[in-house]
Chains A and B, each alone.
Chain A
Amino acid sequence: MALLEVDDLTVQFYTEDGVVTAADELSFTVESGEKFGVVGESGAGKSVTALSLMRLIEEPGRITDGEIRFKGEDILSMSESEVRSIRGNEMAMIFQDAQTALNPVYTVGEQISEAVRHHLDYSEADARDRAVQLMDDVGIPEPDARYDDYPHQFSGGMQQRVVIATALSCDPDLLIADEPTTALDVTIEAKILDLIENLADEYDTAVQLITHDLGVIAEVCDRVMVMYAGKPVEKAPVDDLYYDPKHPYTVGLMSSIPRVGEQRDRLQTIPGTMPDLVELPSGCSFHPRCPFAEDACTRKEPPLVDHETGQAADGDTDQHVAACLEYTGDLVEGLDYQVDVDGADPNTGSATERGRDHGA
């Protein structure tokens, strides 16, 4: 049994402009101890997915369909107090903006020890010891003295460390990190990512890392899900996704990032912008921006299928699945892009010359 299983999760927001389907029949699993990445642009529904896992969706949003099973128990059918005992305890979250995630009127030590006292019934003194130990673990110098400091006395990177310490305080089984390094400088980002990786291994915590940055995913994660307009478009182990992307959106994303050390004059971009979630294009929602789109794409919504067999995704975590009609045999022209890897060793050699000549 996987640690977290999400089945057909649908989250809708009822706004003035219409119903926004922020997550549309989303399914994925996170194994225990695994690092699972969710990547996509803003408006893809990444954060909404994270919030619904902890049942933190607020009005006007609502989880309209689906099932979320955490250690086999259905989160959506729990009582509010049962969910509360899971939140911050077995499942914890790190937010993008550490500054607003910390309460300015409490000392950082109090905030770290609060969850321990609340969930694990530690005494005041034990909670303090635990908090100091955690602060040391996340690399805050002289934790004993800084226990009584207020958040504003910490730099941005240090604040994010405090948030991580808070999240880890109850030794959670799943850590959801929503853009944990987006607000930080690269030098700090490198350290925070390092920290998350090491602590996750040390505490044997599964991590769901949500980000827009393909570099961060490559660095930390084992498996990735790419989201577009509220739907997953590709799911694969991280190596497969980077060396052999199968969905045109993933391909477009990867070709539009500037990479250090390459000599391209122009970036190949994805034209246009992400559609308004109120009114999605018919068929494949990516078709207005996809260079490989054909008439079929406007009529049929592509299912998430194994790119080799064309069979529907069956939950096998090593499977490489993509939601493109290419893999159901509906495209006439097929996809026409190429992934080259410099100095590819035999292990990765299969990645070159891929993407060509498949489909019909």
Chain B
Amino acid sequence: MSTQRGRIRITGFDPTRVDERDPLSEWVEDGETEPESRWRRAWRRFRRNRSAMLGVAVVALLTLLAVFARPVELFGVTVQPIALTPFEPDTILYLTPEYANIGPYSPPSGTALLGTDGTGRDILSRLLYGGRYSLSIGFIVVFITAVIGIVYGSVSGYYGGLVDEVMMRVLDVIFAFPGLVLALVVVATLGGGYWQLVLAFTVFGWAGYARLIRGEILQVKQNEYVMAARALGARDRKVIFRHIVPNALAPVVVQASLSIGTVVIGVAALGFLGVGLDPTTAEWGTMLNAARSTLIQGPGATLPWWATVFPGVAIFLFVMAMNLIGDGINDALDAQDTTVTQGGGA
């Protein structure tokens, strides 16, 4: 029994012996892993996610179909000559003598595989071609809103204080209104049309990204490597763009991939309300809107289900696929450190 500390002394456990001797076995401490960046690692995980890859396949297919639906001309030069669709999207079939037997709302047949709409146009052709509107508007809107949101949110989050306070109150005002209502107001003011729709969805749509990245930046800012960069003498600009923003991007990427679907539904909703694109446009939502009247019919009438089901299925497929992709990205980025790591640290 003793009150003296440090009584036990061990000698002879000499670590240099390990360093000096030849390795006893083939085993090496860290032989296995190839250097792999975060994004490459995420991509590897993503590729292994079957539902996400299914989503990618669906989106790729829809995109290809949209691109090759009709020839593409740029400045009068045909850059894409292939035409997959049997008809022009605007061709009214019964006006051609050849197809005189096909009228408005003809059921699916050998000529019009998915039937015709109320004006007698081939629904398959319109669906394939209409993908150009629905798909492109989603990607364009998301790209623009994400960029604006990232810049706005980064500034707000990094500088904090009064700047942050004012910028966030502006966001609160935007969030006080449902996004679709704001879009509706813009379209109602400016009129319908492709670019008007883009504007309608971008003008307030960035707010979500701004809030998201601001929160993320507040969190990343706490990391010691940000303090470390400052301790090394790095300038603010470098700290933000090299250390903070890249580490805050992951949730924004997830959010963006998920909101492409949301935008497409929004466009379809406006189309369905009849305020989106020109009613004759082959955009999916607008097509639904055109066939809306067929849903409510008197007794005894037949329901031309193909006029509403096929555009609906197209919207559903695309949005579903985008959500699968979004979830896949989320899992791939999120699950960074779930693997059991090496010992040696807490």
Interface centre among A276, A283, A294 (most CB of B within 10 A): A276
B344 to chain A, nearest CB (A): 3
A281 with B25: CB separation less than 8 A: yes
Given contacts A268-B15, A270-B15, A288-B29, contact A341 B10 (CB under 8 A): no
- Number of contact residues on B: which range applies? 20 to 34
When distances are taken between beta carbons in the complex, the residues of chain B under 8 Å from A298 are: 24-25
Given contacts A15-B340, A268-B10, contact A273 B25 (CB under 8 A): no
Query: Of B1-9, B116-124, B186-194, B207-215, which stretch is located at the interface?
Result: B1-9
- Number of contact residues on A: which range applies? 35 or more
When distances are taken between beta carbons in the complex, the residues of chain A under 8 Å from B2 are: 342-343
B344 with A42: CB separation less than 8 A: yes
Given contacts A272-B29, A293-B24, A298-B25, contact A339 B8 (CB under 8 A): yes
A276 with B18: CB separation less than 8 A: no
Inter-chain CA distance A282–B27, complex, in Å, is 8
Per the 8 Å Cβ criterion, residues 230-250 of B in contact with A are none
When distances are taken between beta carbons in the complex, the residues of chain B under 8 Å from A279 are: 27, 32
When distances are taken between beta carbons in the complex, the residues of chain A under 8 Å from B15 are: 252, 268-271, 291
The contact of B343 among A275, A281, A282, by CB within 8 Å, is: A275
Inter-chain CA distance A282–B26, complex, in Å, is 9
When distances are taken between beta carbons in the complex, the residues of chain B under 8 Å from A193 are: none
B25 with A287: CB separation less than 8 A: yes
Inter-chain CA distance A297–B27, complex, in Å, is 12
Interface centre among A44, A229, A340 (most CB of B within 10 A): A340
CB-nearest residue of chain B relative to A251?
Answer: B13
B339 with A15: CB separation less than 8 A: yes
Per the 8 Å Cβ criterion, residues 46-104 of A in contact with B are none
In the assembled complex, B19 has its CB within 8 A of some CB on chain A: yes
Question: What 0/1 pattern do residues 99 to 137 of B give for CB contact below 8 A with A?
Answer: 000000000000000000000000000000000000000
When distances are taken between beta carbons in the complex, the residues of chain B under 8 Å from A142 are: none
Given contacts A254-B8, A275-B29, contact A290 B344 (CB under 8 A): no
Query: Of A151-159, A168-176, A259-267, which stretch is located at the interface?
Result: A259-267
In the assembled complex, B12 has its CB within 8 A of some CB on chain A: yes
Inter-chain CA distance A319–B4, complex, in Å, is 28
B18 with A268: CB separation less than 8 A: no
In the assembled complex, A41 has its CB within 8 A of some CB on chain B: yes
Interface centre among A43, A44, A261, A344 (most CB of B within 10 A): A43
B14 with A273: CB separation less than 8 A: no
Per the 8 Å Cβ criterion, residues 62-111 of B in contact with A are none
CB-nearest residue of chain A relative to B9?
Answer: A340
6 A-B pairs with C-beta separation under 8 A: A17-B340, A275-B342, A275-B343, A288-B18, A291-B18, A298-B24
Which 8 pairs of residues, A with B, have the shortest CB-CB distance?
A43-B343, A274-B343, A273-B344, A337-B12, A262-B6, A261-B6, A259-B6, A261-B5
Given contacts A15-B340, A43-B344, A259-B5, 11 further A-B contacts (CB under 8 A): A245-B10, A254-B8, A259-B6, A261-B6, A282-B26, A291-B13, A291-B17, A292-B17, A339-B10, A342-B6, A342-B9
